[in-house]
């Protein structure tokens, strides 16, 4: 069984469902576990820039053939995780990019593995994007769905139509608990990594307490799930 578990983590799906939020949580978690992480921000709003003091964060347009530096990253023996925050709603273009750049073949060549991460809300568009990615990737990538409780707790359409298909493809789903809008906005205004919010006295101590518990809940959920840990590059097994 291979011990190398280098991972490219790519957030995909609808816009404004929490992709950048999940990226930030994962950067903090991976960094706290001693992983060598690099991030690419494809979003014009540069939502990952606050993390430049923790890891290398570069901006990159994957749709304009600016991907040579990704190839160099695959060759980097020290780098363990690449996180790519893709823009929302461009699922067809993402699939075309992966095909045109022979990304799956390059990942195999350099012993990397791709994990798609898709936060979902109650919107049906999320399920359409999910099905497109699942049909496209098949066994060539792993898939994690993040049920964002900020939008809903029920996800009836997901449970009735796509959860079984996700599980059949080896995918898993996790929960991101709801954080009160006031707490989230206060945290974002600091323009700091989430992991540094606990010590930021510009935020009410009660807010910081809720934010800390919200982060810890997500981290614990990931670390206690062996499949999630593997798909995110946190464990050394490869399956």
Q: What are the tens digits of pLDDT across the range 200-224?
A: 999 999 999 999 999 999 999 999 9
**What are the DSSP calls for 62-125, one per residue?**
GGGT--HHHHHHHH-SS--EEEEEPPTT-HHHHHHHHHHTTHHHHHHHTTEEEEEEEEE-S-HH
Spatial separation of the C-alpha atoms in residues 83 and 208, rounded to whole Å: 26
Q: What sign has the CA pseudo-torsion 113, 130, 218, 210?
A: positive
This prediction's pTM = 0.94
Domain 6-180+222-231 of CATH type 3.50.50.60: no
Percent composition of the chain: helix, strand, coil (DSSP 3-state, to 5): 50, 15, 35
**Using 50, 70 and 90 to split pLDDT, how confident is the model at 2?**
very low
Encode pLDDT of 136-195 as tens digits.
998 899 999 999 999 989 999 999 989 999 999 999 999 999 999 999 999 999 999 999
């Amino acid at each position: 069984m291979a011990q190398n578990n280098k991972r490219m983590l790519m957030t995909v799906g609808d816009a404004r469902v929490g992709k950048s939020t999940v990226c930030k949580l994962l950067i903090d978690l991976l960094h706290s576990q001693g992983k060598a992480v690099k991030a690419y921000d494809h979003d014009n709003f540069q939502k990952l820039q606050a993390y430049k003091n923790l890891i290398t964060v570069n901006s990159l347009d994957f749709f304009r053939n600016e991907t040579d530096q990704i190839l160099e990253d695959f060759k980097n023996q020290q780098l363990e995780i690449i996180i790519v925050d893709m823009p929302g709603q461009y699922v067809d273009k993402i699939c075309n990019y992966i095909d045109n750049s022979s990304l799956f073949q390059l990942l195999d060549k350099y012993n990397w593995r791709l994990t798609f991460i898709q936060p979902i809300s109650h919107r049906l568009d999320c399920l359409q994007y999910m099905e497109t990615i699942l049909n496209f990737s098949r066994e060539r990538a792993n898939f994690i769905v993040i049920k964002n409780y900020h939008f809903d707790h029920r996800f009836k359409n997901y449970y009735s139509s796509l959860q079984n298909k996700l599980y059949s493809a080896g995918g898993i789903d996790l929960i991101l608990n709801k954080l009160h809008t006031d707490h989230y906005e206060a945290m974002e205004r600091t323009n700091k990594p989430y992991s540094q919010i606990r010590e930021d006295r510009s935020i009410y101590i009660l807010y910081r307490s809720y934010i800390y518990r919200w982060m810890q809940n997500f981290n614990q959920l990931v670390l206690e799930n062996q499949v999630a840990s593997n798909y995110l590059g946190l464990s050394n097994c490869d399956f």
